[in-house]
Amino acid sequence: MLLGEPSTWRTDLVIFTYNFSSEFRRLGCVHRLRQNKEEPSMCRLFLYVPIQFRTKNITDNDFQHAFDDAKRVIESYKDINDSFIGVPLVNDKETFDAKRSESLYENLRTYGYIDSINSIYEGYWTFKTYDFILRTDIDVFIYRHFATYIPSNCTFITGGGGYSTDFNRRKLKRIANDMGFVHVDITNMGSTWYGSPYDAYLVANQTLYGMLWLAHYEFAMPERESKLGTLMWPEWHFGVLLLYGQHLALNHLVGINQIRLRMGQDLLDLSSTDDRVEYVQQRIRLNLHCWHTDLPFSKFAFKMGKYNQTDLEKYKNDTTAQAYAMRMALESKYMTLEELAAYGRNKSLSS
User: pLDDT per residue over 318-339, tens digit each?
Assistant: 888 899 999 999 999 999 999 9
Among 60-64, 108-112, 264-268, which range has the highest average pLDDT?
A: 108-112
For 225-264, the pLDDT digits (tens) are 988 888 999 999 999 999 999 999 999 999 999 999 999 9
- Both 124 and 195 in one domain: the answer is yes
Distance CA 82, CA 72 (A): 14
CA-based nearest residue to 5, from 150, 105, 109 = 150
For 138-161, the pLDDT digits (tens) are 999 998 889 999 988 889 999 988
- Both 245 and 285 in one domain: the answer is yes
Predicted confidence band of residue 221 (pLDDT cuts 50, 70, 90): very high
177 alpha-carbon distance from chain centroid: 28
Burial classification of residue 74, based on how many CB atoms lie within 10 Å of its CB (0-12 exposed, 13-18 middle, 19 or more buried):
middle
Q: Which helix (H) or strand (E) holds 71?
A: helix 68-75
| Cβ atoms of 228 and 222 closer than 8 Å | yes
pLDDT at 279: 57
| Cβ atoms of 2 and 347 closer than 8 Å | yes
Predicted confidence band of residue 347 (pLDDT cuts 50, 70, 90): low
What are residue 45's DSSP bridge partners? Answer: 15
| Cβ atoms of 217 and 208 closer than 8 Å | no
Predicted confidence band of residue 210 (pLDDT cuts 50, 70, 90): very high
- Both 159 and 308 in one domain: the answer is yes
| Cβ atoms of 169 and 187 closer than 8 Å | yes
Share of the chain above pLDDT 90, in %: 67
- Both 66 and 139 in one domain: the answer is no
The yes-or-no verdict on residue 128 having pLDDT over 70 is yes
Q: Where are the beta strands (DSSP E) in 107-238?
A: 133-135, 140-142, 155-160, 189-195
Beta strands 260-263 and 155-160 are parallel
End-to-end CA distance of the chain: 11
Predicted confidence band of residue 340 (pLDDT cuts 50, 70, 90): confident
- Both 45 and 113 in one domain: the answer is no
Total structural domains within the chain = 2
Whether the bond between 6 and the residue before it is cis, its omega within 30 degrees of 0, is no
Q: Tell me how far apart the 2 most distant CA atoms of the chain are, in Å.
A: 58
pLDDT at 351: 45
pLDDT at 44: 94
Distance CA 272, CA 268 (A): 12
What are residue 14's DSSP bridge partners? Answer: 44
Residue finishing a domain among 35, 65, 95: 95
Q: Which helix (H) or strand (E) holds 87?
A: strand 86-87
- Both 19 and 106 in one domain: the answer is no
The yes-or-no verdict on residue 13 having pLDDT over 90 is yes
Mean of pLDDT over the chain: 91
What are residue 289's DSSP bridge partners? Answer: 140, 271
Distance CA 122, CA 112 (A): 17
For 118-127, the pLDDT digits (tens) are 999 999 999 9
Predicted confidence band of residue 4 (pLDDT cuts 50, 70, 90): confident
- Both 128 and 66 in one domain: the answer is no
Residue finishing a domain among 62, 95, 128: 95
Residue 27 belongs to domain spanning: 1-95
What number of other Cβ atoms are within 10 A of residue 323's Cβ? Answer: 21
Distance CA 3, CA 254 (A): 36
- Both 71 and 174 in one domain: the answer is no
- Both 269 and 142 in one domain: the answer is yes
| Cβ atoms of 331 and 312 closer than 8 Å | yes
CA angle 129, 103, 210 (to 5 degrees): 65
Q: Which helix (H) or strand (E) holds 200?
A: helix 197-217
- Both 244 and 117 in one domain: the answer is yes
pLDDT at 144: 84
Residue finishing a domain among 62, 80, 95: 95
pLDDT at 180: 98
The yes-or-no verdict on residue 283 having pLDDT over 70 is no
- Both 206 and 325 in one domain: the answer is yes
State the average pLDDT over residues 79-107: 92
Distance CA 281, CA 206 (A): 37
Predicted confidence band of residue 21 (pLDDT cuts 50, 70, 90): confident
Predicted confidence band of residue 281 (pLDDT cuts 50, 70, 90): low
- Both 115 and 148 in one domain: the answer is yes
